[in-house]
Amino acid sequence: MRISARTQYALGAMLALAEADGPVHAEWIAVSQDIPRRFCDNILLQLRRAGLIHSRRGPDGGYWLARPAGEIALADVIRITEGAEPVGRPLPRSAAPLAEVWAELRDREDRLLSAITLADVLSSSH
């Protein structure tokens, strides 16, 4: 599995929000996670549109998680930033059995990432 920079940044932003005690500004997220500001704004917009975070404008505003960190799996974020994996081209004759291997690998990968929440990651890092 390849994880794009966009997904790594999105996961970092989500973890920063999970650690925060309330709404935080995009600038703080960008600086604390070393994300280019414009890229951070785009990622936060994508996460907000997908319903993983909420936002409010103004001095007391900012971004915060839409659900508790224990209810947001890594797979939730990855699906938003990476999208659905395209179906691969059919494999030729002798390589055709590999399709089952790749399908099982994707399934295991999805189950693992669906089982690990933002709260799990934060608790393992402290």
Inform me whether the pLDDT recorded for 17 exceeds 90: yes
How crowded is the C-beta side of 124, counted as CA atoms within 13 Å? Answer: 8
The C-alpha atoms of residue 10 and residue 29 are separated, in whole angstroms, by 10
Going along the chain from its start, the domains and CATH numbers come out as: 5-124 (1.10.10.10)
Listed residue (122, 112, 116, 113) closest to 18, CA to CA: 122
What pLDDT does 93 receive?
75
Each residue of 30-82: pLDDT tens digit? 999 999 999 999 999 999 999 999 999 988 889 999 999 999 999 999 999 98
pTM beyond cutoff 0.85: yes
Inter-CA distances, 52 with 7, 55, 121, 126, Å:
14, 10, 17, 24
pLDDT digits (tens, 9 = 90+) for 82-126: 886 655 667 677 787 887 888 888 899 999 999 999 999 999 865
Output the pLDDT for position 100.
81
| Predicted local distance difference test score (pLDDT) of residue 102 | 81
